[in-house]
Amino acid sequence: NAGVTQTPKFQVLKTGQSMTLQCAQDMNHNSMYWYRQDPGMGLRLIYYSASEGTTDKGEVPNGYNVSRLNKREFSLRLESAAPSQTSVYFCASSERRAGSTEAFFGQGTRLTVV
């Protein structure tokens, strides 16, 4: 199925461990995003990439790094996980087309840091 694929779906980390969340889209979108969503809250932008080769900080970038590997893939790395990074992480891609916009989200990664 076309769309945004995130891996893994669930992850438990110990404080101080590192991990990389993978995201790939097959819709030829230029823009990709990483968000986190805490209970009862909206999404907060961590990093975004407007096009292949560019990345920019969002609202809450501290403790994260990203790589736009190519047009399809945008990964998020936690170098030293902290309990405050327990959250649901969503990857998304979007494209502005002829006066409209399409945007799709991955299914989310539920991360728990203990």
Residues found near other proteins in the complex (CB under 8 A) = 31, 33, 35, 40-45, 48, 50, 56, 58-59, 90, 92, 100-108
Q: Shortest gap between Cβ of 81 and other proteins (angstroms)?
A: 23
Of residues 13 and 92, the one with the C-beta less far from other proteins: 92
Q: Shortest gap between Cβ of 16 and other proteins (angstroms)?
A: 29
Of residues 79 and 102, the one with the C-beta less far from other proteins: 102
Of residues 10 and 14, the one with the C-beta less far from other proteins: 10
SS3 readout for the chain: CCCEEEECCEEEECCCCCEEEEEEECCCCCEEEEEEECCCCCEEEEEEECCCCCCEECCCCCCEEEEECCCCEEEEEECCCCHHHCEEEEEEEEEEECCEEEEEECCCEEEEEC
Q: Which residues pair with 95 in a beta bridge?
A: 102
Q: Shortest gap between Cβ of 107 and other proteins (angstroms)?
A: 6
Q: Shortest gap between Cβ of 43 and other proteins (angstroms)?
A: 5
